[in-house]
Structure 1
C-alpha cells in the first residue's frame, strides 16, 4: 500500500486527538484533581483494547518474537505520557502557548532526526534538506499559533518564585519523548504482532502511574456539584486520543516518524484553532485572527515538504 493512502487516517487521528484534548480539559475542570481526571480518562482505553484483544486474540507472538523485542518497546505509552505530566505540572507556570509551542517543535524535530538516523528500528533516510526546511516551517507556524493563544504570558508565574523559562528544557524533553514514544509503540506492535495486545501493553503502565499518583495525592477531590457537571462524553476523551497512539502502532513504520507526527500535529492544531474559533466542547471562544491563520498556513506548507520529500 502506498504510504500516501494512509495520510487521511492519520489526519483523522490528529483531529480526534485535538477533540480529546478539549474533552480532557473539561473533564479536569469538573473532577478538580488532575490525576483523578487522567485516571478516569485512561481507564476506558485499557478496557476497550483489552476487550478487543480478548475478542480477537490472534495472532499471538511467539517466544522468538518476545525475545527479539527491544527492552524499551513496552515503555512507549509512558514516554508519550511524559508530555501529559508536563502539562499537568508546568502549563500554569509557563503558559499554554509556550508549552504547546515548545512541545510540538521538539516533537517535529525529534521525528525528523529519528527518520534521518534510522533510530529505534526505523529505516534511516539520511539528511534531506527539504524535510528539515518543512520542520522549520512547522516550528515557525506553531510559534505564530502559540503567540495567539490566550494565557501564554508569564503573569501566572508571579508569586510562585520560579522563572518559567527555567522549565523550558524539561518541556523540550517531554516533546522529544512524545515523538520517541510513537516509534517505540511501533516496535512494540512489531514484536507482539497483535495490535490490540500491543495497545493494551502500551497503556497499562500509564494507567498504573496515574492511579498510583492519585492514591498518593488524593486531594483536592471534586464536590458533588462538580461530578454532576460531568457530561457523558467527557470520560471518552482518552479514547479519542488513543486513536493517535493506535495509528502510530500501525502506520509510523510505513510513512516515517516525520510525516506521521507532522500530519498528526498539523491536523491537531488546525482542529484546535477551529474549536477555539467556534467555542466548541466548552472551549473559550477565540477568533482565528491573522496570526493563527498565518501559522496554520505555514504549518501546512511544512508538512507538504516533509511528506513529499
Structure 2
C-alpha cells in the first residue's frame, strides 16, 4: 500500500481528534477539576487498548526487540500530553486562538525538522524547499484561523505575562510532534499495536491521576456529575485514535505529512463544530478569514505531501 492511500485514515483520525477535544471541554466543564476530567478521559482509553491486547495478544515482542528499545520510547504518550498540560495551564492566560496557533506551529515545524534529519528511526529526507514552503503556508493558515476566533491574549496578573508564555507553548507543540514519532518507535519495539498503545497511555493516566490526588479541589457538585452525558467520557477514545494512527503510520508517511494531515483535518472539523455549535461549542461563524486560512492550510499540506 502506497503512502497516499493511508491519507484518508489520517484525516479521519484528525476529525476524531477534534471531536475528542470538544468532548473533553464539555467533560472539563462538568467535572470542574481539570485533573479529574483528564483522568476520566484517559482511563477508558487504557481499558479499551488493554482489552484489545488481551483479546489479540499476538504478535508479541521478543527479548531482542525489547532490549533494542530506547528508554525514551515509552514516553511518547507523556510527550504528546504536554500540549494538554499546556492547555490546562496557559489557555486562559493567552487565549484559545493564540495558544492553538503557537502549538500547531511548533508541531509542524518540528515534524519537518525530524523528517529532514531522520531522527528516532525516521527516513532521512534532507531539506526540501517545497515541504518547508508548505509548512510556512500551514503556519499562515493557522494564524488566519486563530485570529478569526475573536479571542484575545489575557494576562490575569501575577507571574509571567501572556507573551512571555509563547516559547513554552511552542515547546508544547513540538513535544506533541515528538510524541507521535516516539509512539511509532514504541510500536516497532513492542510489535503488537494494542500493547504499544496501552504502554503509551498508561504513564499519562498515572500522571493525571497523581495530579488529581495532589490537587483534589475543586470537586464537582452532584448536579455537575448528573449533567455528564454518556458521550463525554469517550473523549479520550476519540482522541486516542490519532495516537493509534501515529503508532501505525508515522514511519510510513513521514512525520511532516502525518502531523500536517492530522492538524488540517482537526482544524477543519473544529471550524465546522464552531460554525454549527455542535457538542455544546460556542457558535463562531466560519467567515471569509477562517475559510481562507483553511484553504491556505490545505495548500500547505499538499506541498508537504507531494514532495
TM-score category (smaller protein): over 0.9
In the comparison of the two structures, how many residue pairs are matched? 307
Helix, strand or coil at the partner of 2:71? coil
1:223 equivalent to 2:221? Answer: yes
1:128 equivalent to 2:114? Answer: no
Give unmatched runs, 5+ long, in structure 1: none
**What is the Cα deviation at residue 70 of structure 1?**
1.2
> Which digits, 9 at most, give the CA deviation of each residue in 1:239-284, with x for residues without a partner?
0000000000000000000000000000000000000001000000
TM-score in terms of structure 2 length: 0.99
2:284 alignment partner in structure 1: 286
2:265 alignment partner in structure 1: 267
2:193 alignment partner in structure 1: 195
Helix, strand or coil at the partner of 2:126? coil
Distance in 1 between the 2:157 and 2:70 partners?
45
- Residue among 208, 211, 221 paired with 2:209: 211
Distance in 1 between the 2:107 and 2:123 partners?
19
**What is the Cα deviation at residue 150 of structure 1?**
3.3
1:50–1:196 Cα contact (<8 Å) kept = yes
1:246 alignment partner in structure 2: 244
1:188–1:198 Cα contact (<8 Å) kept = yes
> Which digits, 9 at most, give the CA deviation of each residue in 1:135-188, with x for residues without a partner?
00000000000001132x12x314345311111111111100100110000000
Distance in 2 between the 1:196 and 1:64 partners?
19
> Which digits, 9 at most, give the CA deviation of each residue in 1:44-95, with x for residues without a partner?
0000000000000000100000000111100000000000000000000011
1:93 alignment partner in structure 2: 93
1:184 alignment partner in structure 2: 182
Distance in 1 between the 2:7 and 2:274 partners?
25
1:169 alignment partner in structure 2: 167
Root-mean-square deviation (CA, aligned residues, Å) is 0.7
Helix, strand or coil at the partner of 2:242? helix
1:65 alignment partner in structure 2: 65
Give unmatched runs, 5+ long, in structure 2: none
2:235 alignment partner in structure 1: 237
Distance in 2 between the 1:214 and 1:159 partners?
25
1:55 alignment partner in structure 2: 55
